[in-house]
Amino acid sequence: MEEKKILENRQGEVFTSSNTNSSPVRKKLLLESYGCQMNFSDSEIVASILSEAGYTTTKEIEEADVVLLNTCAIRDNAEQRIRHRLDHLKSVKKKNPDMVVGVLGCMAERLREKLLEEEKLVDLVVGPDAYRDIPRLVEQVEHGSKAVNVLLSREETYAEISPVRIDSNGVTAFISIMRGCDNMCSFCVVPFTRGRERSRDPKTIINEATDLFNKGYREVTLLGQNVDSYKWNITSKGEVIQPDEPTVNFAQLLAQVAEVSPELRVRFSTSHPKDMTDEVLDTMAKYENICNYIHLPVQSGNSDVLKRMNRGYTREWYLDRIAAIRRIIPGCAISTDVIAGFCDETEQEHQDTLSLMKEVGYDMAYMFKYSERPKTLAERKYEDNVAEETKGRRLTEIIDLQMQSASLRTKQHIGKIQKVLVEGVSKKSDAHHYGRNSENVVVVFPRGNSRIGEYVHVQNVDATSVTLIGEIVH
Ligand code: SAH
Ligand code: SF4
Ligand code: F3S
């Protein structure tokens, strides 16, 4: 496919070098993203596809010809948020009946045609593997019919598409390295909304990282639902596909990205406890520019609950992985995801989650009440039988404990001199810059001569609960 250079001007308008002289800009696109980093990264692919088709982006809903919501379906409240947004769009559409409203992403994939019946203003429904088709589908809508493409693919990785960086600080960027998920955790809708797991050609990943580095970016985050099962040229059974081509696993991919430049920081998300190998940890330890931070979702601290969740590991296995991280990468920050009130969760099982959290001492956590999702294994097999009130109370206990842990972990950095990548001007004070240390903690410091996109050494002198206050040292 022909590669076209994508340009972005100061107003955030996106256009392609090939169409700036010939065809005038035709339509304005408003693109909103919800959900996980993967969705935000997908929106950059959608923006790229639409800029090729001659669209410019806008942030003003009143001037948009096409409004696309890239949606999340992970919990019921994520979908409710989208419904509220659609309600608001109704009044905008009354004033501008020609405005095309589209729903993309996981909620589109989950509800398919039903979304057109339930939300009358929606014209367009497009699933995560059908984004190349959006320009054609919008045309179909303009010719008077509704349009749906929710086909999932076993191959699509948008490998060669050069994402248009939306709302970028010019310093940090996401790179998708794989799509879909084959894990079937019983609570999770993702395998249904994003289809089968597939990895992206490593050459295109390295090219994207190199290109970002050459443009001044200094940090990339490699994204996948389970990065540890990244594999290229090898089947899930371990058979080599092309014998004369090298195989690449996640640890090897990490090393290749780290070698783009020692000045390029590398992060990744999400690791899966059942698949995270020592080889990955050894690679992290070997390269200074692979950040000391691992997001390792535990979900529950009780092995029976983990079994019902179909997570593929026990409490002991998980704690062994934590021990391996502490042994191989001392000082590594660890974050997690926790679900409160999963089906049949007893008080004792909940206590086991609290005790595991105490034992690990997480730097950060995302914590949720269990939300039953249609079609999932848990919905078919178990009853969502923990009372709402109990779920709420357990979640509060989990959050309270985590707040204490986070504050302790942040304080441990006080007094240390650390390398910080400057990301921007502090929201609270023009005289301050902010950035992050390798462990992903935000550090705010008087800007001095520092410039955005540069590394500085900062001595941490104080901390609020989750932010460090520092001073540049030379
Ligand atoms: N692939 C990642 C997580 C993807 S979803 C992983 O395997 O860890 C992000 C988080 O949302 C999950 O880790 C889980 O904690 C939470 N989550 C997923 N489904 C949920 C549900 N039905 N109810 C509540 N939380 C859920
Ligand atoms: Fe969902 Fe589990 Fe896949 Fe994560 S690993 S996306 S929780 S099914
Ligand atoms: Fe949500 Fe889909 Fe991500 S359900 S969490 S946007 S993969």
Q: Which of 411, 437, 456 is the last residue of a domain?
A: 411
The verdict on residue 164 lying in a domain is no
User: Structural domain tally of the chain?
Assistant: 3
225 CB near ligand 2 (under 6 Å): yes
CA dihedral sign, ordered 362, 366, 368, 374:
negative
- Cα dihedral 195/240/200/53 (nearest 10): -90
The verdict on residue 259 lying in a domain is yes
Q: Is residue 71 located within the same domain as residue 214? A: no
Q: Is residue 421 located within the same domain as residue 407? A: no
d(CA 430, CA 446): 9
75 CB near ligand 1 (under 6 Å): yes
- 226, 368, 377: residue to mutate for ligand 1 pocket, most atoms within 8 A of CB: 368
Count of Cβ atoms closer than 10 Å to residue 88 Cβ: 10
Q: Ligand 1 atom closest to Cα of 372? A: 22
Query: Are 119 and 112 spatial neighbours (Cβ–Cβ below 8 Å)?
Result: no
d(CA 367, CA 384): 18
Amino acid identity for residue 147 in this structure: A
Q: Which of 81, 114, 149 is the last residue of a domain?
A: 149
Q: Is residue 98 located within the same domain as residue 129? A: yes
Q: Is residue 428 located within the same domain as residue 392? A: no
Kindly report the CATH number assigned to the domain that includes residue 383. 3.80.30.20
d(CA 159, CA 453): 26
Query: Are 266 and 217 spatial neighbours (Cβ–Cβ below 8 Å)?
Result: no
Kindly report the CATH number assigned to the domain that includes residue 424. 2.40.50.140
The verdict on residue 157 lying in a domain is no
Ligand 3 center–CA 175 separation, angstroms? 16
d(CA 27, CA 142): 12
Q: Is residue 329 located within the same domain as residue 462? A: no
50 CB near ligand 3 (under 6 Å): no
Owning domain of residue 121: 4-149
- 295, 311, 338, 339: residue to mutate for ligand 1 pocket, most atoms within 8 A of CB: 339
Q: Residue 219 forms beta bridges with which residues?
A: 172, 265
Residues in Cβ contact with 251 at an 8 Å cutoff, skipping those fewer than 6 apart: 277, 279, 280, 282, 283
| DSSP secondary structure of 271-289 | --TTT--HHHHHHHHH-TT
DSSP H or E stretch at residue 395: helix 388-411
Count of Cβ atoms closer than 10 Å to residue 197 Cβ: 20
Ligand 2 center–CA 326 separation, angstroms? 25
Both tokens assigned to 278: 């020592």
Residue closest by Cα to atom 5 of ligand 3: 36
d(CA 426, CA 43): 26
The residue assigned the tokens 């994003």 is: 194
Residues in the chain: 474
Question: Along the 474 residues of the chain, how does pLDDT read in single tens digits?
Answer: 333 333 333 333 333 333 343 444 579 999 999 999 999 999 999 999 999 999 999 999 999 999 999 999 999 999 999 999 999 999 999 999 999 999 999 999 999 999 999 999 999 999 999 999 999 999 999 999 999 999 999 999 999 999 999 889 999 999 999 999 999 999 999 999 999 999 999 999 999 999 999 999 999 999 999 999 999 999 988 899 999 999 999 999 999 999 999 999 999 999 999 999 999 999 999 999 999 999 999 999 999 999 999 999 999 999 999 999 999 999 999 999 999 999 999 999 999 999 999 999 999 999 999 999 999 999 999 999 999 999 999 999 999 999 999 999 999 999 999 999 999 999 999 999 999 999 999 999 999 999 999 999 999 999 998 999 999 998
Residue closest by Cα to atom 3 of ligand 3: 36
What's the pLDDT at 352? 98
Q: Is residue 403 located within the same domain as residue 261? A: yes
d(CA 31, CA 118): 21
225 CB near ligand 1 (under 6 Å): yes
Q: Is residue 312 located within the same domain as residue 289? A: yes
d(CA 391, CA 396): 9
The verdict on residue 78 lying in a domain is yes
Ligand 2 center–CA 362 separation, angstroms? 20
273 CB near ligand 3 (under 6 Å): no
Both tokens assigned to 125: 């429904």
Q: Is residue 251 located within the same domain as residue 347? A: yes
Cis amide leading into 390 (omega within 30):
no
Task: Give the residue among 370, 310, 290 at the shortest CA–CA distance from 74.
Answer: 370
Q: Ligand 2 atom closest to Cα of 181? A: 3
Antiparallel, parallel or unpaired: β 265-269 and 147-149: unpaired
Q: Is residue 264 located within the same domain as residue 376? A: yes
Q: Is residue 397 located within the same domain as residue 453? A: no
Residue closest by Cα to atom 2 of ligand 2: 185
The verdict on residue 434 lying in a domain is yes
Q: Is residue 135 located within the same domain as residue 207? A: no
373 CB near ligand 1 (under 6 Å): yes
Residue closest by Cα to atom 1 of ligand 3: 72
The residue assigned the tokens 């090298």 is: 246
Residues in Cβ contact with 91 at an 8 Å cutoff, skipping those fewer than 6 apart: none
What's the pLDDT at 20? 40
Task: Give the residue among 268, 259, 270, 353 at the shortest CA–CA distance from 304.
Answer: 353
Kindly report the CATH number assigned to the domain that includes residue 116. 3.40.50.12160
The residue assigned the tokens 């019983």 is: 186
Ligand 3 center–CA 187 separation, angstroms? 13
pTM of the model: 0.94
Q: Helix 202-214 and helix 250-258: axis angle, to 10°?
A: 20
179 CB near ligand 2 (under 6 Å): no
Q: Which of 134, 149, 164 is the last residue of a domain?
A: 149
Angle at 416 between CA 413 and CA 422, to 5 degrees: 85
DSSP code of residue 154: S
Q: Residue 293 forms beta bridges with which residues?
A: 333
